[in-house]
Amino acid sequence: MSAGNADAVLVTGLGATTPLGGDTASTWAAMLAGESGIGPIEEEWAAALPVRIAGRLKVEPTEVLDRVKARRMDRCEQIALIAAREAWADAGRPEVDPERLAVVIGTGTGGALTLLGQDDVLETSGVRKVSPHTVPMLMANGPAAWVSIELGARGGAHTPVSACASGAEAIAQGLDLIRLGRADVVVAGGTEACVCALPMAGFAQAKAHSTRNDEPERASRPFDVDRDGFVIGEGAAVVVLERAGFAAARAARAHAALAGAAVTSDAHHITAAHQDGQVRAMRRALTDAGLSPRDIALVQAHATSTQLGDLTEARSVAEALGTHPVVTATKSMTGHLFGAAGALGAIATILALRDGAVPPTRNLDTQDPDIPLDIVTGEPRRGPLTAGLANAFGFGGHNASLVFTPAP
């Protein structure tokens, strides 16, 4: 689909709150500088864990939201709303028929902090102390619901739950809603906030989490020969998608065009990625965008820093696209934001195309010799980019690939 026609889908708004910054601009500046948002967990609950590091939010949501409203929302809902507000403002607050405005916010775990916290309350203090807001705070569709209420969106509030592919799948679903004529504007993205004992213990037991507790800023090291697992992070990332004709009618500025997307499933293993599913996602996204592998200049890798995961993705990229695109892996700076990871990767891809600057991959000291990709390290790689592809893969065999092109 050409980004120049009236039926193309444009990205007109960006919003994020991450371990690198409380908004998109500060997050992007930190990415280009190769900074780390990963640090030690000082709270007492982490003392007994084998993993005591995480990518915590740079700005606490309670510093941004009304205190009373914030108390009725899980942390993942709070940050989804913050990111959506920024994206909506960045898009110029489009005047759109509420029936033609939809929301799609993905998440991997939903209100995990509320679920675990209120279960503790129930066990220690009894049923009368359980919050009456527990259910709307823990439900996975809560972030999409809160954003739809905030914006008055009546065209649907949707919640893909596909592990670490959730945010990217949400953006792909937003593309479909516009193409099918069901919406003119879609607010789409992902959110996650589950830095707490149970998931961290589970990932540690599965040997998926880095245990570099003494050097947290060096723990997330995609594609490095010494990588030893991901680092859990929290954050939210949201984009505003618009039908190009609608955006043109209101003279909206676009950051980029969402040219194509694809979602596949491995049907292979509950946790182990499969090269075939990833290759099919990338190839289908290219076909959807009407592009060839040679058109892709940049790959935003999923790259979680696990031994098998990084190697599988590198081989998939080489098979689907070749080894010519430059590759970046921003989880080296933010940690793994799970349900928000794909949406933040999409924003990084969009900004790289817009600004002609690819963020470096942090902590890549010695590239794995079995990974024959051109990975950006040290300083940003600068210059014009024809198109970018962002990958997001999740437990369960979920694969999502998004293709972006420069704004028309």
Q: Choosing from 76, 158, 164, 194, which is the catalytic residue?
A: 164
Q: Which of 209, 274, 336, 398 is catalytic?
A: 336
Q: What number of residues does the chain have?
A: 408
Annotation marks residue 302 as catalytic: yes
Helix extents (H) in 263-382: 275-289, 307-320, 331-334, 341-355
DSSP string, 244-271: HHHHHHTT---SEEEEEEEEEE--S-SS
Q: Is 196 a catalytic residue?
A: no
Indicate the helix (H) or strand (E) that contains 86: helix 75-90
One-letter amino acid at 198 equals L
* Amino acid letter, residue 56: R
Instruction: At 109, list the tokens.
Output: 């775990």
The reply to whether 76 belongs to the active site is no
CA–CA separation, 136 vs 361, rounded Å? 38
Count CB neighbours of 117 within 10 A: 17
CA distances from 21 to 6, 57, 61, 137, 321 (A): 34, 7, 12, 24, 32
Spatial CA neighbour of 329 closest among 406, 390, 385: 390
Annotated catalytic residue, options 209, 255, 302, 398: 302
**Amino acid letter at 148?**
S
Angle at 29 between CA 229 and CA 191, to 5 degrees: 55
Cα-based torsion angle of the residue sequence 120, 124, 126, 129 in order, rounded to the nearest 10 degrees: -60
Residue 405 host element (H or E): strand 398-406
| Catalytic machinery residues | 164, 302, 336
